[in-house]
A and B are shown apart, each in its own frame.
Chain A
Amino acid sequence: MTSLNLALPQPGTVRRKGFIGRALANPVFLFGAVLLGLIVAMAALAPLLAPYNPLAQNMLTRTVSPFWMSDGNWAHPLGTDGLGRDYLSRIIYGARISLLIGVFTVICSGIIGTVMGVLAGYFGGKIDLVINFLIMTRLTLPVVMVALAVVALFGGSLIVVVLVLGLLLWDRFAVVMRSAVMQIRNQEYIQAAQSMGYSTPKLLFKELLPNIFDRLAVIATFEMAHAILLEASLSFLGLGVQPPTPSWGLMVAEGRQYLLFDSWLILIPGAAICVLVLAINMIGDGLRDALAPENRN
């Protein structure tokens, strides 16, 4: 009996190893991961990579075309904006804003949503009712409008944007964590831990959380993409990150007045947002397939 038990692998560890392994075997995941890796490297090495200071204006070189156009040149590979700032440098630094917003918003919303979901799923009853009510209320609030109003009231700094998005985007974490915990709370290893006298916090952190971690990772990626898109929208509407900070959404807004003749001014930063969100979503898709291979078709 005991030898049989020893021969069985620890359920948690093997599953997670398999999880990452399965994801890595997926070309979609791999492509997304490499793409995101490149963007993160670009953001981290921005001071080394950017040919110019992203904030330096030059009235003599305004709206220079990018290199692929007949009047473009390689001194400014992606051209310059209406204030003569080098567009490539602004794109490189802009990656920092999007990534910071994405990561910190997900940390914030992930903690709130996971705590709520785990509490609702594990304890059930009245706690579950209250948390369900909170989720419903949150879903009823129009995210963009509330975020705009809060930024208008508290000012458009990076911290305010992260906090407001973090306080708004926890719903999917809560919903998924709640049902995940409900699924596993009656499984034998949880009951075993209970009967061994584990304290509730120890049980939640040591037994429950590691087993829903993979699902958490899947939502975290999609929510990160969501947060990045929302920041871009807020900045586009002038109530997000404030100028002269190079935010991609803000760059699209600034390029709007040149829509007719220099439409590349909006095309480039928009394409940058697309590539980043695409990379993150591919990672999310890969993780989701690794989580439930049977759902692939």
Chain B
Amino acid sequence: MLQYLMQRIGLALLVCVAVSLLAFTLLNASGDVAISMAGEEASAAQIDAIREEMGLNRPVLVRYGEWLGNAVHGDFGNSLFFRQPVAELIADRLPRTLTLAVMSLAVMLLLSVPLGVLAALYPNSLIDRAALLIAVLGQAMPNFWFALVLIVIFSLTLGVMPPSGSATLKHYVLPAVALGYYSTPPMMRLIRQGMIEALSSDYIRTAKAKGIGTTKIVFKHALRNAVIPVVSLSAVQFGNMLGGSVVIEAVFGIHGLGFLAWESISRMDLPVVQAVLLIVAVFYIVIVLLADFINAWLDPRIRIQ
């Protein structure tokens, strides 16, 4: 078990380094920040002065090393636009994105688990068809558009939900539905498939033969076995929600991490963009790693392998 843990953590660290290197070189290799910062009417001397001040005249790898070294200590430099430490900005915005992602995950599980289980229990029934329809629509609708449709229906027509902002938890309901619905179809398919396989396995037949009730079979025996891939996929989806919330945050005006990335990208505020990319990637790695550990703990077959 310990060896398994160490291997996974080592690999995760390597991936972190690779991602940070990619993000840094990508953003620095192209375009010249000094020119865009100086504005259109700057002289060559002014541009050089900015380069000098920001240390942009040194090789990319040297700057990367310095940036990563500081980043490990929680120092991501200063935002060019907000004129304040990037770490402060992120600490301020992160809770909103996390709230949105957690609620979206809840929406996804609330939709996909019951529908997936029911679809597996009654294949080709009306409920199976309905679940399929929900999945097909969820995969075809662009999430920003679905979000706007939700605003039109629930905010503008019915007036029961706020159209934008993040003041209360109620403000997160529509965004969470929009973001969570989009990741529902693969999860529902996974649960349905896992349940069908579990329900047709020998130990379930034995349980049935022993006269154990259907409810107990479904929840105690079948669902438990179907849950392992669900943990993995939930982790991946949660990580994707953190990065993919950009679009939803932009629609609902939620000033979270995604919104920060979007406005900083438009303003070429590279220190912020680099930091957000790294933070989102690290979150993804940590969450997927945690899911692996949870699964290794749930299922001894994984850790012995």
A contacts, CB < 8 Å to B = 133, 136-137, 139-146, 148-150, 152-154, 225, 229, 232-233, 236-239, 249, 252, 256, 259-260, 263, 266-267, 270, 273-275, 277-278, 281, 297
Among A239, A278, A297, the residue within 8 A (CB) of B196 is: A297
User: Would you call the interface of chain B mostly helix, strand, loop, or mixed?
Assistant: helix
Distance between B8 CB and nearest chain A CB, rounded to angstroms: 11
Complex contact B243–A144 (CB within 8 A):
yes
Q: How distant is A206 from chain B, measured CB to nearest CB, in Å?
A: 35
Given contacts A142-B244, A278-B136, contact A148 B280 (CB under 8 A): no
Taking a contact as CB atoms under 8 Å apart, the answer to whether B142 and A270 are in contact is yes
Known A-B contacts A232-B142, A278-B136; the reply to A237 vs B262 at CB < 8 A is: yes
B97-148, CB < 8 A from A: 123-124, 136-137, 139-145, 148
Q: Decide if B124 touches A297 in the complex (CB within 8 Å).
A: yes
Residue contact B139 to A225, C-beta cutoff 8 Å: yes
Q: Report the minimum CB–CB distance from B136 to chain A (whole Å).
A: 7
Q: Which chain B positions have C-beta within 8 A of A266?
A: 145, 148-149, 152
* Given the contacts A141-B22, A145-B258, A136 and B11 also touching, CB distance less than 8 Å: yes
Contact A142 B280 (CB under 8 A): yes
Report how far A140 CA is from B240 CA in the complex, Å. Answer: 9
Tell yes or no: B285 within 8 A of A by CB. yes
Find residues 3-45 in chain B having any chain A CB closer than 8 Å to their own CB.
Answer: 11, 14-15, 18-19, 22-23, 26-27, 30-31
In the complex, whether B302 has a CB less than 8 A from a CB of chain A is no
A142 touches B265 (CB 8 A): no
How many angstroms from the CA of A167 to the CA of B275 in the assembled complex?
22
- By CB atoms of chain A within 10 A, which of B11, B19, B148, B250 has the most? B148
Chain A residues in 8 Å Cβ range of B156? 259-260, 263
CB contact under 8 A between A140 and B247, given known A266-B148, A267-B149: no
State in angstroms the CA–CA spacing of A236 and B196 once bound together. 39
Q: Are B148 and A149 in contact (CB under 8 A)?
A: no
The 10 closest A-B pairs by CB, nearest first: A142-B243, A270-B145, A278-B140, A277-B140, A153-B30, A137-B18, A140-B281, A274-B140, A152-B265, A263-B152
> Are B144 and A252 in contact, CB atoms less than 8 angstroms apart?
yes
Say yes or no: B243 contacts A281, CB within 8 Å: no
Residues of A close to B145: CB separation below 8 A: 232, 252, 266, 270, 273-274
The answer to the question of B174 belonging to the interface, with a C-beta cut-off of 8 Å to chain A, is: no
Q: Is the CB of B11 within 8 A of A144?
A: no
Residue among A140, A153, A239 having the largest count of chain B Cβ atoms under 10 Å = A140
Query: Contact size class for B?
Result: 35 or more
- CB < 8 Å neighbour of B277 from A142, A152, A256, A297: A142
* Across-interface contacts of B273 in A (CB, < 8 A): 145, 149
Closest-CB distance, A69 to chain B (whole angstroms): 15
Assuming the contacts A150-B26, A153-B30, asked whether A281 and B140 have C-beta atoms less than 8 A apart, the reply is yes
Residue of A nearest to B279 (CB): A142
Closest to B258 in A: A145
- Contact flags B204-244 to A (C-beta < 8 A → 1, else 0): 00000000000000000000000000000000100110111
B148 A252 Cβ-Cβ under 8 A: yes
Q: Given A267-B149, A297-B196, does the pair A239, B142 have CB atoms closer than 8 Å?
A: no
Do B141 and A274 touch across chains, with their CB atoms under 8 A apart? yes
Q: Bound complex: CA of A137 vs CA of B242, how far in Å? A: 16
- Report whether A152 and B268 are in contact in the complex, using a CB–CB cutoff of 8 Å: yes
In the complex, which residues of chain A have a beta carbon less than 8 angstroms from the beta carbon of B144? 232-233, 236, 249, 252
List chain A residues, Cβ under 8 A from B26. Answer: 146, 149-150
B276 within 8 A of A: yes
Distance between Cα atoms of A263 and B280 in the complex (Å): 34
Chain A contacts of B243 at CB under 8 A? 141-145
The reply to whether A281 and B136 form a contact with Cβ atoms under 8 Å apart is: yes
Identify 7 new A-B residue pairs, CB closer than 8 A, beyond the known A145-B258, A153-B31: A136-B11, A137-B22, A140-B284, A149-B265, A237-B246, A270-B142, A278-B140
CA distance A89 to B149 in the complex (A): 23
Shortest distance between the CB of B100 and any CB in chain A (Å): 14
Instruction: Tell me whether B168 is interfacial, beta carbon within 8 Å.
Output: no
A153 to chain B, nearest CB (A): 5
Least Cβ–Cβ distance between A165 and chain B, in angstroms? 15
Q: What's the minimum C-beta distance from A116 to chain B, rounded to whole angstroms?
A: 15
B265 to chain A, nearest CB (A): 5
Closest chain B residue to A264, Cβ basis: B152
A139–B240 Cα distance when bound, in Å, is 9
In the complex formed, the residue of B with least CB distance to A134 is B18
A150 to B239, CA, bound (A): 21
Pairwise interchain contact B280-A153, C-beta atoms closer than 8 A: no
Q: How far is the CA of A88 from the CA of B26 in the complex (A)?
A: 39
Bound together, the chains give a CA A237 to CA B156 distance in angstroms of 22
Chain B residues near A297: list those with CB within 8 A.
123-124, 196
Cα-based distance from A273 to B137 in the complex (angstroms): 12
Residues in A whose Cβ lies below 8 Å from that of B254: none
Residue of B145, B242, B246 contacting most chain A CB atoms (<10 Å) = B145
A270: which of B149, B268, B284, B285 is its contact (CB, 8 Å)? B149
